[in-house]
Amino acid sequence: MRPIFLLACVAAAVLFAGCGAYANTVEGDVSVPQSNGPNPQNLPDPNAVPKPNSPGGYPVAISPVTIEEVALGQQWIELYNASAFEADIGGWALTDGQHSHTFPFGFRLASGSRVVVHLGVAGVDTNSEQFAPSFAGVNVTQGALALVRGGGELMHFVQWGADNQPFEGAAVQIGLWTAGDFVSAPGQQDSMNYDGTANDSSAWHALNPTPGN
């Protein structure tokens, strides 16, 4: 019996040694994730993750849609979507402080598109032309226009001929205009054109009217 018992002990010892070696091998092959300060799961650094690009458009405008052209002599106003995305301007209004035109709810302006608002005349509204028969027309010699989002938020502004026009104070307060500044009123055959480079009169130029372009 002793030889058999001895052989069994030797076999058990060999098996145990083999298992121990295997266990040591497995333990050596597994690498435990190392913590890195307060980020134990080694997640990406949020400050290093690329952020989405901001919408394109005029560099100083807070609105994707701006007043781009005002033809005082011909009584129409053109809005332009300079951003890279379609803009929903339903409920937005164009106003001179006395009259206004509100865009119908659901009205959308595609990227790079324009809409011309004809003042004081009736017509068939489309995506590129709107008619405001109740808007008596803007003052040719001096006045102001404001683009207001539904809810009363001022989005764009211009004044001409003199300062202290309606909405000037609100526009100055949020950086959309410079106090006391105004665009020189253009001639009857010209229109005021916005180039998007500044929030003051330096960004407005008298040019030939180009409705829809």
Tens-place pLDDT, residues 1-14: 444 444 444 444 44
Mean pLDDT (the chain, rounded): 81
**pLDDT tens track for 32-67:** 444 344 444 444 343 333 333 334 577 777 889 999
Strands 129-132 and 114-119: parallel
**In terms of pLDDT, which residue wins out, 193 or 50?**
193
Say if 9 falls within a structural domain: no
pLDDT at 146: 97
167: helix, coil or strand? Answer: coil
- For 73, the domain range is 65-207
Say if 17 falls within a structural domain: no
Domain count, the chain: 1
**Nearest in space to 78 (alpha carbons), one of 165, 136, 158:** 158
**Nearest in space to 94 (alpha carbons), one of 132, 141, 62, 49:** 132
> How many CB atoms lie under 10 A from the CB of residue 82?
22
Say if 155 falls within a structural domain: yes
Say if 98 falls within a structural domain: yes
17-21, 76-80, 181-185: least confidently modelled range = 17-21
CATH of the domain at 186: 2.60.40.1260
Say if 40 falls within a structural domain: no
Record the tokens describing residue 133, joined without a space: 């028969």
% pLDDT > 90, the chain: 67
> What is the rounded CA–CA span in Å between residue 162 and residue 167?
13
pTM of the model: 0.73
Q: By CB neighbour count within 10 A (0-12 exposed, 13-18 middle, 19+ buried), where does 176 fall?
A: buried
> What are the two backbone dihedrals, phi and then psi, of residue 34, each rounded to the nearest 5 degrees?
-95, 135
Say if 29 falls within a structural domain: no
What's 201's DSSP letter?
Answer: G
pLDDT at 56: 58
CB 116 within 8 A of CB 132: no
What is the H or E stretch that residue 17 is in? helix 2-29
Say if 24 falls within a structural domain: no
Indicate whether 19 pLDDT > 70.
no
pLDDT at 209: 95
What is the H or E stretch that residue 28 is in? helix 2-29
pLDDT at 98: 93
Say if 7 falls within a structural domain: no
pLDDT at 152: 87
**pLDDT tens track for 120-155:** 999 999 999 999 999 988 999 999 999 999 888 999
